[in-house]
Amino acid sequence: MQVQKEVGSAYGLYFALLNSTVILNILLDLGMSNYNNRKISVNNNRFAKYFQNISVIRFGLAIIYLLALQLWGIVAKYTMHEQMMLFFLGLSQVFLSSLLYVRSNLTAFGKYKLDSLFSVLDRVLMIGGVFYLFYQRDNGLVNIENFIYVQTIGYGLSFMAGLITLLVIGQPGIPAINRRFARILLRKSAPYALIVLLMAAYHSSDAIMIERMLSNGKAEASIYAQSMRILLALNNYAYLFAVLLLPMFSKLLAKKEKIQGLIATSSSLLIYGVSSVAVLMAFFADDVIALCYGKFNNQSIFIDWKLNFEALENMGDVLFSADVFKLIIYGIIPMSINYCFGTLITASGNIKLLNKIALASLLLNIILNFGLIPNYGAWGAALSSLITQSFSGVFQVFFAVKLFKLNINFIGVIRFFLAITVILLSTMFLEEFNLSLRLPLILGLLLIGLLLAVNFKGVLIIAKGFRNNDN
């Protein structure tokens, strides 16, 4: 966040380039990680054969991906400097995708503690690198190019550490390619590749369209990126659930055991967590954006533990960014729904259904963007994203209930909405309190809501399952 505050509109270009690398990211994996996770979680003895072939295939795909990125840079008429940035962002995506593949194997082995370690290692390394850049600020090191280099190094070191750990655990032997097995693998994983491509496209198209369609595209993309960075930070919590739930759903379905309890508990825990945080952050949107991205005059940031908005240098930008943020942060709720119910559908192997939902969502998002971005800029893109996410979430829940004959627990639904209502109504009274009192009161509200919304017997069962698999 501090980097974006320092580099200004240059971050908008970075964000657009980053999203270009994300869309083409599917070339790095072709859905193999998801397919690999499902297969190995059911039978760990498959690991050596799968790893030997997949590692060779992924190396070839990485070369194709980097070449494709440079071709896109030429087509999009990026300058040589921008193409250089695109290359290193692409290289960081190669390392990140490889790290995710390593982590998919660790979760398939039930090594959830190790997976959690590698889920934060890259961020720790990048934070350390950013601190160094700011320490050397007087030497002119704080710029978007050095931030990209730090990001690439962080992902690269994390991948190498994860790979060494996986080799020690699995002992797969020397990578080799079996053409027949490779053809079968690519054919089986193709549906997973398509879903990842479609999801990446409708998640990432917003920033690219903002930057390309508007005369002040870099500035608007930078404002959009401010909110998305906070959303993605919260999304890490939801994504971790999906990573952990996929092998658990796969095992239950393979054994033809009931999944009602797991989906009910996991969804209530996840959706309550993100919904409550989204409500609070949306209500205090001005405060959140000002704290993260506001530039202050040489005056105190706080007066009597309240933000000194009068001291802001960029008040107009903060208020507009806060309006964008209010829409974007609510998008975490349907995203969490997708993580729960989409993961269940993925574990069942019904990928064609998810592809249809994702394709419809992508088309809806593009149509809405063409209509909203020219008139409303980043705010229009945020509205488009929220509508699209909600559309996808509703249909995933509908089909999950239909396919797996899930019973809707109306008492649980009532408890959930009661918890959110308590937080929403109570939040209205918190605005009058200063920061020193507001924070402990918010934590207390979240705890009360958690007690109302979540079945803790189910939580203990899930925690026991994680612990048993990790041993």
In order along the chain (471 residues), what is the average pLDDT of each group of 10 residues?
A: 60 80 80 75 78 87 92 86 91 92 84 84 88 78 85 93 89 78 79 76 82 84 86 79 78 81 78 82 86 80 76 82 92 88 86 88 93 93 93 92 82 75 75 68 72 59 54 50
Question: In the numeric block, which tokens belong to residue 64?
Answer: 């194709």
Question: Which phi and psi (to 5°) does residue 302 adopt?
Answer: -120, 145
Question: In the numeric block, which tokens belong to residue 224?
Answer: 């959009």
State residue 91's pLDDT score.
Answer: 95
Query: Are residues 360 and 389 in contact, defined by beta-carbon separation less than 8 angstroms?
Result: no
Cα separation, 114 vs 467, whole angstroms: 12
Question: In the numeric block, which tokens belong to residue 85?
Answer: 């940035």
Question: In the numeric block, which tokens belong to residue 74?
Answer: 């030429």
State residue 467's pLDDT score.
Answer: 53
**Closest by CA position to 442, among listed 265, 227, 288:** 288
Query: Are residues 362 and 262 in contact, defined by beta-carbon separation less than 8 angstroms?
Result: no
DSSP 312: B
Question: In the numeric block, which tokens belong to residue 215?
Answer: 């005369």
Cα separation, 171 vs 103, whole angstroms: 15
Cα separation, 173 vs 52, whole angstroms: 7
Question: In the numeric block, which tokens belong to residue 445?
Answer: 């509200």
First to last CA, the chain: 38
**Residue 377: what residue type?**
G
Place of tokens 């699995």: 170
Residues 385-407 as b/e (b if ≥16 CB within 10 A, e otherwise) read bbbbbbbbbebbbebbeeebebe
Residues 412-422 as b/e (b if ≥16 CB within 10 A, e otherwise) read beebbeebbeb
Could you give the maximum distance between any two Cα atoms of the chain, in Å?
A: 70
State residue 325's pLDDT score.
Answer: 93
Cα separation, 344 vs 248, whole angstroms: 9
Question: In the numeric block, which tokens belong to residue 460?
Answer: 């203990």
DSSP 406: P
Element (H, E) at 200: helix 179-213
C-alpha pair distances (Å), 250 with each of 197, 288, 343, 396, 464: 22, 39, 9, 18, 17
State residue 72's pLDDT score.
Answer: 87
**For the chain, domain boundaries:** 1-213, 228-471
State residue 154's pLDDT score.
Answer: 93
